[in-house]
Structure 1
Amino acid sequence: MAADFYEVLGVPRSASQEEIQRAYRKLARSYHPDVNKDPGAEDRFKEISEAYQVLSDPETRRRYDAFGPDFRQVPPDVDPETWARARAAGAGAGFGGRGAPAWDFGGGDFAGTDFEDLLGGIFAGRRGGRRWGPVRGADQEAELTVTVEDAYRGARRTLTLPSGRRVDVTIPAGVTEGQRIRLAGQGGQGGDGAPAGDLYLIVRFAPHPRYKVQGRDIHVALPLAPWEAALGATVAIDTPGGEAKVRVPAGTPSGRRLRLRGRGLPNPRGTPGDLLAEARIMVPSELTDEERRLYEELSSVSRFDPRSRR
């Protein structure tokens, strides 16, 4: 007997799409063959992936809820309520073979009913009606983690899917957090030779030691010496696109953001993002005798009070 997909993922039949996704991610991390070397982990992982493939797609899930394990074989025009009524009436045949099925009505309100008519003529091979083909594979989703540099320049990557299958991915320059990359025909396999569904990769940015991305804008810290902030300066800063020059106005305080327009993530269809450099005034942890003398001299002549409310 085929396993119930809801039981495989450990969720109730009323589970939301978010609950199904969370359950899948938790199980996939535990049973992925790259992580779990138990002999039965791979089979368990494939079972989990199949369950998620079906339940993550709303239309495929609806058919599974309506028709159970045979949902891939039931032609698209069969109405779930009609199917349920036929089942309840004791119709004991499947969809295999040629022509209409041999129904065993077992009496009741449906005795004498022509179930070929009731089910919309889906078995009309003998009457010249249309024949339904196999059902297309379900679309699937997976997360694709990229670096800020990959998002800026574009890249080629090989991704290992939850099923263990590997696919080559082109990351276009200018992708943003949450964007979906479509790989046609790389989703769930169709039944009986039907085309496969599509695979959608959801872009997620990996944590970066220097950059933080918001939309297409890139935020970065800009360390400054006290005299650079006080007197003004032009300083170099690294960006994903290479080194850039930042003009620091005299009197720049810590926390001030200096904007470099167009130096954020590129936009293939419009205006690129900006790079925002946040000033952070740094002081030396150790001083030479001369540096200490100069700081002490500055302290004695300066009227600047950083704690003043003015």
Structure 2
Amino acid sequence: MAPSRDFYETLGVSRDVSADDMQRAYRKLARTYHPDVNKDPAAEERFKDISEAYDVLSDPEQRRRYDAFGPDFRQVPPDMDRQTWARARAGAAAGGGGHARRGGGPAEHVYTRSGGFQDIDLEAMFGGMFGGRGGGRSGPIPGADQEAEIELPVEEAYAGGHRTVTLSGPDGSRTLDVRIPPGVTDGQRIRLSGQGGRGGDGATNGDLYLVVRLAPHPRYRVDGRDITVTLPLAPWEAALGASVAVDTPGGEGKVWVPPGTSSGRRLRLKGQGLPNPRGRPGDLYAEARIMVPPKLSDEERQMFEQLAAVSTFDPRRQP
């Protein structure tokens, strides 16, 4: 398994970065590495790393745990302090660590990003804290957190809803009814409390985190919470200005096209991007694309010829 990256380094920020500065850093990186923009084969994986780092560090509680425990923060029981965790890791290292199960000790299964479930030997990790064969347990063993991915269309990420998810693991398949909150973004985690690894000796189960991946869409390009949609325009609409309909994930909207609009111009619909339950929603950008009739009628051809005869406009010689 690849070594864990430092989330702060992934975002290129210092450990004392403010929430606003971190968001700006994330948006800049997301625009650079989004697969719809960057066709480098490595860009998609880089974008996933950036999204994961921001999702953790933008949540105050997850950031606190990450700062305290580092990349292992998801495996640390909620009521364990930093000193106890350090002693547990030291005991695991002294006892050989790894994934070998000593004396039939307890193991949990964790879903890894590389795919599949991986056994983590809790007895080896925590040394003698929970006892082993020949020694009694000193207490219950909390279940480990787990992680899996869920792919959503943009419309479902926008509106939210319910989704039935089937997960496969070493103990067979299980089906869960998952509530999708409105406005989830690519890389965001949906927490299912108590649906992770089973706890031992009556301890609480771990949590299951579903990592959202937005499916490619034929019309929408998503960057963080901002959405871009292509807006086809007739030449006269672009030249004279017009109010035209535009598709949005929330339904049909209207946008005013200023006179003299050229292809590539982005018209902003404020707040019409992905919703944000904790802050400002994203924006929707309608990107103008001027279309000409594929086949001209005789009257249309005559009018275009008249325009060509009187116009001094040269699109190849713009200032």
Please say whether Structure 1 and Structure 2 have the same fold, judged by a TM-score greater than 0.5: yes
2:100 alignment counterpart: 68
RMSD: 3.0
Q: Identify the match of residue 187 of structure 2 among 163, 178, 183.
A: 178
One-letter amino acid of the counterpart of residue 236, structure 2: W
Contact 1:17–1:56 at 8 Å: present in 2 too? no
Aligned residue for 2:210, secondary structure, equals strand
2:250 alignment counterpart: 241
Over 3 Å counting, the alpha-carbon distance change for 1:183 and 1:307 in structure 2 is: same
Task: Considering fraction of residues, name the structure with more strand.
Answer: 2
Structure 1, unmatched stretches of 5+, are 1-10, 19-54, 81-93, 102-122, 126-130
Q: Give runs of ≥4 in structure 1 deviating > 6 Å.
A: none
* Rg larger in structure: 1
Aligned residue for 1:65, secondary structure, equals coil
What CA deviation, in whole Å up to 9, does each residue of 1:19-74 have, x standing for no partner?
Answer: xxxxxxxxxxxxxxxxxxxxxxxxxxxxxxxxxxxx99656996582683135274
Tell me whether 1:139 sits opposite 2:148 in the alignment.
no
Aligned residue for 1:262, secondary structure, equals coil
1:16 alignment counterpart: 3
Larger CA deviation: 175-184 vs 66-75: 66-75
Deviation at 1:192, TM superposition (A): 4.3
Aligned residue for 2:179, secondary structure, equals strand
Tell me whether 1:225 sits opposite 2:225 in the alignment.
no
Aligned residue for 1:191, secondary structure, equals coil
Structure 2, unmatched stretches of 5+, are 6-71, 78-87, 107-121
1:23 alignment counterpart: none
Count, aligned residues:
218
Contact 1:230–1:250 at 8 Å: present in 2 too? yes
Give, in whole Å, the separation in 2 of the partners of 1:204 and 1:228: 37
Q: Identify the match of residue 257 of structure 1 among 254, 262, 266.
A: 266
Give, in whole Å, the separation in 1 of the partners of 2:151 and 2:298: 50
1:299 alignment counterpart: 308
What CA deviation, in whole Å up to 9, does each residue of 1:223-279 have, x standing for no partner?
Answer: 000010001111011111111111000000110000011111111122111110000
TM-score normalised to structure 2 length: 0.62
Contact 2:187–2:213 at 8 Å: present in 1 too? yes
One-letter amino acid of the counterpart of residue 271, structure 2: G
Alignment of structure 1 residues 183-222 onto 2, 5 Å: 183-222=192-231
Give, in whole Å, the separation in 1 of the partners of 2:271 and 2:151: 24
What CA deviation, in whole Å up to 9, does each residue of 1:66-111 have, x standing for no partner?
Answer: 683135274986469xxxxxxxxxxxxx834xxxx4xxxxxxxxxx
2:168 alignment counterpart: 162
